[in-house]
């Protein structure tokens, strides 16, 4: 009944990282032409749930658009746009704010993590309601599939809960129950400084992440300084079970080279990080240099990026507006 349609977004709240590339952008590009319509969004309304410097946000939004395109998202095959340019997202989010329950939001681990040890009274209301806007992002397109990293699985569950409760409360089957598309290894790239935290653009330490704009020397230096242990690499993946930092570097190698963890270990078992890190750095530079080069080229013409995003917004709106209109009609407005 629903058109196979993929929706996903990334916050332009900082420069994008290797984690965003392996966990999101690379897969977004691969999903084009897989029998899905693909809709990708720079979620600036989500970004401002935490205060953003206005000029930086504008720059980062364009840069994130460049990162999508440099990673292979083709605006002639996918819809690529900026969330704030399609007002149906915010309007549907309000309806969903009235469907979702306070208790559901309060149980989100990302909300708990982001307010842990701080005064939650001081967090923005937007940060609390974030998953409701995310549900609107997805459901305003009747998206059937959402590629998500592990970190966003719980929010997608909430999207399904909101769709089901809306359908139940209004006696309809208007909204699809969206399926997650979760991939195996290295969908979760961890911090280079702490194997228990995900690599993130919002981590205060720049050494914890590889940015898509980092040059070759910076990439090599960050990998050289990545936290590891003094052991050699094992023969099999279970030998990495209690070694999160080592496992992360092997996972990154596997994801970048398109091979399995077993294959990587078959090549490097018995070797220490003195040998493995330079090989990883070389591979990372080889894979990321074309992306950062293309980003630089695209960023030299910001007007062209704005034109592409404006065009994407028009296409997005053509799908979203009728779905919003119908939602309002169902709710009696």
- Give me the residues that bind ligand ADP (CB under 6 A), please: 8, 10-11, 13, 17, 19-20, 22-24, 148-149, 151-152, 187-189, 198-202
Instruction: Measure the CA–CA gap between 13 and 52, rounded to whole angstroms.
Output: 7
Nearest distance, CB of residue 170 and ligand ADP, angstroms:
30
| Annotated catalytic residue, options 118, 165, 197, 198 | 198
Is 19 annotated as ligand-binding? yes
Our CB check for ligand ADP shows the closer of 95 and 190 to be 190
228: which 2 tokens?
A: 């590891």
The helix or strand, by DSSP H or E, that contains position 219, with its residue range, turns out to be: helix 216-224
Instruction: Measure the CA–CA gap between 68 and 75, rounded to whole angstroms.
Output: 9
Our CB check for ligand ADP shows the closer of 20 and 132 to be 20
Is 11 annotated as ligand-binding? yes
Is 122 annotated as ligand-binding? no
Does 26 qualify as catalytic in the annotation?
A: no
Nearest distance, CB of residue 269 and ligand ADP, angstroms:
25
Nearest distance, CB of residue 26 and ligand ADP, angstroms:
10
Instruction: Measure the CA–CA gap between 59 and 260, rounded to whole angstroms.
Output: 36
Is 222 annotated as ligand-binding? no
The helix or strand, by DSSP H or E, that contains position 163, with its residue range, turns out to be: helix 153-169
Our CB check for ligand ADP shows the closer of 93 and 199 to be 199
Instruction: Measure the CA–CA gap between 137 and 139, rounded to whole angstroms.
Output: 6
The DSSP string of 71-91 is: TT--TTTEEEEEGGG-THHHH
Our CB check for ligand ADP shows the closer of 7 and 276 to be 7
* Geometric angle at alpha carbon 280, from 68 and 153, rounded to 5°: 45
Does 198 qualify as catalytic in the annotation?
A: yes
Is 198 annotated as ligand-binding? yes
3-state SS assignment for residue 301: coil
Instruction: State the catalytic residues.
Output: 114, 198, 201
| Residue numbering of the annotated binding site | 11-13, 19-20, 137, 149-151, 189, 198-202
């Amino acid at each position: 009944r629903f058109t196979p349609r993929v929706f996903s977004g990334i916050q332009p709240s900082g420069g994008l990282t290797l984690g965003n590339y392996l966990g999101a952008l690379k897969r977004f590009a691969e999903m084009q032409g897989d029998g899905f319509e693909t809709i990708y969004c720079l979620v600036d309304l989500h970004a401002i749930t935490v205060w953003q410097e206005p000029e930086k946000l504008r720059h980062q939004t364009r840069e994130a658009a460049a990162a999508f395109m440099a990673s292979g998202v083709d605006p002639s095959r996918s819809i690529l746009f900026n969330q704030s340019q399609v007002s149906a997202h915010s309007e549907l989010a309000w309806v969903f704010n009235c469907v979702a329950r306070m208790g559901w939001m309060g149980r989100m681990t990302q909300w708990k993590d982001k307010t842990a040890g701080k005064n939650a009274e001081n967090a923005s209301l937007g940060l609390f309601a974030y998953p409701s806007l995310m549900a609107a992002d997805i459901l305003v397109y009747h998206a059937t599939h959402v590629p998500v990293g592990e970190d966003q699985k719980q929010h997608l569950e909430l999207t399904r809960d909101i769709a089901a409760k809306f359908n139940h409360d209004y006696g309809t089957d208007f909204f699809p129950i969206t399926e997650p598309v979760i991939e195996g290894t290295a969908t979760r790239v961890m911090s280079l400084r702490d194997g228990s935290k995900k690599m993130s653009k919002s981590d205060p330490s720049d050494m914890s992440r590889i940015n898509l704009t980092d040059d070759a020397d910076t990439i090599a230096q960050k990998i050289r300084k990545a936290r590891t242990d003094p052991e050699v690499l094992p023969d099999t993946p279970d030998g990495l079970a209690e070694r999160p930092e080592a496992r992360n570097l092997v996972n990154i190698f596997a994801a970048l080279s398109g091979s399995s963890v077993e294959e990587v270990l078959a090549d490097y078992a018995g070797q220490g990080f003195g040998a493995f890190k330079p090989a990883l750095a070389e591979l990372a530079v080889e894979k990321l240099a074309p992306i950062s080069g293309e980003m630089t080229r695209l960023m030299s013409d910001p007007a062209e990026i704005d034109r592409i995003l404006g065009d994407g917004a028009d296409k997005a709106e053509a799908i979203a507006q009728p779905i919003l209109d119908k939602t309002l009609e169902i709710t009696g407005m």
